[in-house]
Chains A and B, each alone.
With several copies, the nearest count.
Chain A
Amino acid sequence: MGTLTEAMSTRPPLKNILEGALLAAGGPLTLDGLAGLFAEEEAPPTREALSAALAALEADYRDRGIELAQVAGGFRIQVRQSCAPWVARLWDEKPPRYSRALLETLALIAYRQPITRGEIEDIRGVAVSTNIIKTLLEREWVRVVGHRDVPGRPALYASTRKFLDYFGLKSLNELPTLAEIRDPEFLGDDLPLEPPAPVTGALAEAGNSPTATQG
């Protein structure tokens, strides 16, 4: 009993421990991960207490060079965008820029997952270079989640938590909404415009599209 009281009396404020952990982690931490910093016998904080401490931390950072952000992987502390131009000068290299081809491929995987390379090529009307897929896989923004059961068993790509984390998103729901498509009235009402099911939709399109982009 003595050690319990002792530990409790010397424990720094919860907010400080969370701050230290989030700054040391080098990446996002979940509420569970933060709760895991406290042993059973030392009166671990409740989830409410953790959330309250995080909210207090966020408020503390309002006028600072860092901020608390919530992304798919949990909570993380990051350098504020307003300070980024100066912080960027720490490194010789410029921030990486990504080609339109890579971004379009990534967007298709994010919005239409799971999707095969062939389906991406059908929509983009151009071959997807192996380098792009390789880069996306290496950055762990996309991964192979299966294979479509058609000849050749092409890999099905989906986005990852790392992708969400990189772009500061909590979930795919936070992706910018896709642009609306105007209904081409002149085509008549019988036109099914957007195939509702993404998985089968792309295949259906491939079926009725006269342009083969293979090869």
Chain B
Amino acid sequence: MSDRALPASAAATGQTLSMAADTAAILPAQGLATAGATAAAPFAPAGPPQQREMPFAIVQGQPLLTLPQDLYIPPDALEIFLDTFEGPMDLLLYLIKRQNLDILDIPIAQITDQYMEYVELMKDLRLELAAEYLVMAALLAEIKSRMLLPRPAEAEEEEDPRADLVRRLQDYERFKRAAQDLDALPRLERDHYLVQALVPPGHRRLIPPEVDLREVLLALRDLLARADLFTSHKVEKESLSLRERMAIVLAKLQGMGFVPFVHLFEPHEGRAGLVVSFLAVLELIKSATIELVQAEPFAPIHVRLRTGA
């Protein structure tokens, strides 16, 4: 394999590089673009200047290696050609499909030669990318040599040297197709768009957290332990109902002005209830929260919230 320089002038002037080999019109491998008819579209916008039969490279005396005719290579984007192939597997698949070869019975010598021609071109174009292709080249060469070896008759079960490569090619082809299928799915930002309608403001709510009574009581226990201020030794059960009653009395007086004293008592509660109410009133008077007013002796007593001076 001799060194073959790329005719830089041809590329630089943006000419269409064509292939002088048997296959006159080579479409990129199926799936390079969605359809054959549009395959050239991304690469050949607005009629590039045409120049026919420009030998791209000479391989063993024959102008074999060129780019597919419909690939327009912009002067500064030679890698488009390389990007056309997603790697050595893709290139191999392309070579096989292009010639309608049976993937299960690849003429390995022929394919290897063609593959090497492309690899030589790539070596000229971009060395670091060619490295990956070189690994495949080595594999192909190895298979080719193993195919040439006479196979012992008794070694029936020995695997075809191409078997692993075929498996890999098939596996790659499946996912190559899967990628096309994926691309064809209706998707957001292309086939569908998300919608968003505005919501009138003022309806945001804050969900209050749940509280367990136990949490409240535990907080109180800690508080009691921290500051032992509840030292009064009243009967505490009484104390609580007294305090509840004080709150009830206050609520009754809220916004009412004078309220007859007797209205603070509910006779149906019985003696105990009356006592608690009475104690609550006394307690509230003591704490300067309510006041009793009696216009004259024996007149009805009225109660009201203290409004201050």
Touch A–B, Cβ below 8 Å: yes
Tell yes or no: A2 within 8 A of B by CB.
no
1/0 per residue B215-231: CB within 8 Å of A? Answer: 11111111110110110
B132 touching A92 by the CB < 8 A rule? no
B185 touching A95 by the CB < 8 A rule? no
**Hey, which chain B residues are within 8 Å of A76, CB to CB?**
194, 197-198
Residues A149 and B197 in contact in the complex (CB < 8 Å), given A95-B189, A97-B209, A210-B139: no
Interface residues on chain B, size class = 35 or more
Query: Which residues of chain B from 9 to 56 have any CB-CB distance to chain A below 8 Å in the complex?
Result: 32
**Hey, which chain B residues are within 8 Å of A191, CB to CB?**
159, 163, 167, 214-215, 218
Query: Which residues of chain B from 45 to 91 have any CB-CB distance to chain A below 8 Å in the complex?
Result: 86-90
Residues A125 and B172 in contact in the complex (CB < 8 Å), given A78-B193, A98-B209, A168-B192: yes
Report the bound CA distance from A84 to B179 in whole Å: 23
Residues A100 and B193 in contact in the complex (CB < 8 Å), given A110-B216, A213-B203: no
**Hey, which chain B residues are within 8 Å of A104, CB to CB?**
86, 175-176, 178-179, 219-220, 222-223
**Hey, which chain B residues are within 8 Å of A14, CB to CB?**
none
| Chain A residue at minimal CB-CB distance from B230 | A178
Report the bound CA distance from A124 to B168 in whole Å: 9
Query: Which residues of chain A from 104 to 123 have any CB-CB distance to chain B below 8 Å in the complex?
Result: 104, 106-108, 110-114, 122-123
Tell yes or no: B186 within 8 A of A by CB.
yes
Query: Which residues of chain B from 170 to 224 have any CB-CB distance to chain A below 8 Å in the complex?
Result: 170-183, 185-209, 211, 213-224
**Hey, which chain B residues are within 8 Å of A89, CB to CB?**
205
Q: Which of the candidate stretches B107-115, B119-127, B240-248 sits at the interface with the other chain? A: B240-248
**Hey, which chain B residues are within 8 Å of A156, CB to CB?**
250, 289
Query: Which residues of chain B from 282 to 309 have any CB-CB distance to chain A below 8 Å in the complex?
Result: 284, 287-291, 305-308
A79 touching B216 by the CB < 8 A rule? no
Tell yes or no: A23 within 8 A of B by CB.
yes
Q: Which of the candidate stretches A3-11, A42-50, A51-59, A179-187 sits at the interface with the other chain? A: A179-187
**Hey, which chain B residues are within 8 Å of A166, CB to CB?**
187-189, 211
Distance in Å: Cβ of A91 to nearest Cβ of chain B? 6
A176 touching B194 by the CB < 8 A rule? no
A181 touching B220 by the CB < 8 A rule? yes
A148 touching B182 by the CB < 8 A rule? no
Residues A103 and B200 in contact in the complex (CB < 8 Å), given A149-B307, A156-B289: no
A124 touching B227 by the CB < 8 A rule? yes
Query: Which residues of chain B from 148 to 172 have any CB-CB distance to chain A below 8 Å in the complex?
Result: 157, 159-160, 163-164, 166-168, 170-172
A106 touching B179 by the CB < 8 A rule? yes
Tell yes or no: B251 within 8 A of A by CB.
yes
Tell yes or no: A133 within 8 A of B by CB.
no
Report the bound CA distance from A94 to B139 in whole Å: 42
Report the bound CA distance from A165 to B214 in whole Å: 15
Tell yes or no: A13 within 8 A of B by CB.
no
**Hey, which chain A residues are within 8 Å of B227, CB to CB?**
123-125
B217 touching A212 by the CB < 8 A rule? no
Residues A106 and B194 in contact in the complex (CB < 8 Å), given A88-B199, A171-B244: no
**Hey, which chain A residues are within 8 Å of B145, CB to CB?**
none
Query: Which residues of chain A from 58 to 72 have any CB-CB distance to chain B below 8 Å in the complex?
Result: 66, 69
Name the 9 nearest CB pairs between A and B, nearest first. Answer: A126-B87, A158-B247, A88-B203, A149-B306, A145-B250, A103-B219, A125-B89, A23-B195, A107-B220
Task: Spell out B's residues near A (CB within 8 Å).
Answer: 32, 86-90, 104-105, 131-132, 135-136, 138-139, 142, 157, 159-160, 163-164, 166-168, 170-183, 185-209, 211, 213-224, 226-227, 229-230, 236-237, 240-241, 243-244, 246-247, 250-251, 253-254, 284, 287-291, 305-308
A107-B216, A159-B247, A184-B104 given. 8 additional CB < 8 A pairs? Answer: A78-B188, A79-B194, A94-B206, A96-B189, A98-B211, A100-B219, A125-B87, A175-B240
Task: Spell out A's residues near B (CB within 8 Å).
Answer: 20, 23-24, 26-27, 66, 69, 76-81, 84-85, 87-89, 91-98, 100-101, 103-104, 106-108, 110-114, 122-127, 135, 139, 143, 145-150, 153, 156, 158-159, 165-169, 171-173, 175-179, 181-182, 184-188, 190-191, 193, 205, 208-215
